[in-house]
Amino acid sequence: MVSVEGLTKLVDPSQLTEEFDGSLDYNHEEWIELRLSLEEFFNSAVHLLSRLEDLQEMLARKEFPVDVEGSRRLIDEHTQLKKKVLKAPVEELDREGQRLLQCIRCSDGFSGRNCIPGSADFQSLVPKITSLLDKLHSTRQHLHQMWHVRKLKLDQCFQLRLFEQDAEKVGGLQANFSGPGEGAYMSFQGE
């Protein structure tokens, strides 16, 4: 068994906290706070990413309405979907991720009021946080692009359904048309 006095002979004092006669600046409560913040961030980011991917699946649907009312309804639903995309707290999560990165990086020579001693334990999470933030931004950007493409197609479908509706009305009027010259028209058609 090694005594506290002998511990500094076996372990570099810069790796020991003050209570073990070392110089490592460490606060366990701050470490736990950072750990909990990281867990909350990862949970929130993964959940949001899942929601954004679900919205992408909705936008990838190929169904189009067969009538004018269906077109209007689908355009309204599509507009509501845009509101969901805009409400996605990507920027809020980005700010939290950047704050956490700053806390973790303070042991790499970064310093500031947000630095938490002992955050070197979390260095392996830096690429994961960065990757998750990039994925959130790129997924949201792709979602915006998909939304605009789908909106264009829905608007075109709506215009087509209006044209079809008008064509049916004209066809109905033409079927009801009876007057001078209709007999000649019909006999001309029969030849």
Structure confidence by residue, pLDDT tens digits, 28-86 = 888 888 899 999 999 999 999 999 999 999 888 888 989 999 999 999 999 999 998 88
Q: Is 46 among the domain residues?
A: yes
Lowest mean pLDDT among 21-25, 146-150, 152-156: 21-25
pLDDT score at 114: 53
Q: Is 127 among the domain residues?
A: yes
Q: Is 94 among the domain residues?
A: yes
Tens digits of residue pLDDT in 102-119? 888 875 444 445 555 555
Gap between the Cα atoms of 152 and 160, Å rounded? 12
Looking at residue 144, its amino acid is: H
Tokens of 12: 């570099």
pLDDT score at 190: 53
Strand partners, 17: 24
Element (H, E) at 85: helix 68-87
pLDDT score at 108: 46
* Percent over 70 (pLDDT), the chain: 82
Strand partners, 24: 17
Buried/exposed 115-126: b ≥16 CB within 10 Å, e otherwise: bbebbeebeebe
Q: Is 172 among the domain residues?
A: no
pLDDT score at 187: 57
Strand partners, 27: none
Cα separation values, 2 from 14, 23, 190, Å:
18, 19, 113
158 or 10, which is more confident: 158
pLDDT score at 154: 94
What integer is the mean pLDDT of 157-176?
86
Backbone angles phi, psi at 24, to 5 degrees: -70, 125
11: confidence class by pLDDT, cuts 50, 70, 90: confident
The structural domain count of the chain equals: 1
pLDDT score at 14: 77
144 or 19, which is more confident: 144
Q: Is 119 among the domain residues?
A: yes
Q: Is 45:132 a contact under the CB 8 Å cutoff?
A: yes
Q: Residue 22: left (phi > 0), alpha (psi -120 to 50), or beta?
A: beta
Backbone angles phi, psi at 17, to 5 degrees: -75, 170
Parent domain of 88: 20-56+67-167
Q: Is 116 among the domain residues?
A: yes
Closest CA to 31 of 91, 96, 86, 103: 103
Gap between the Cα atoms of 125 and 116, Å rounded? 15
pTM more than 0.85? no
Gap between the Cα atoms of 41 and 89, Å rounded? 12
CATH number at residue 28: 1.20.58
Q: Is 37 among the domain residues?
A: yes
Q: Is 77 among the domain residues?
A: yes
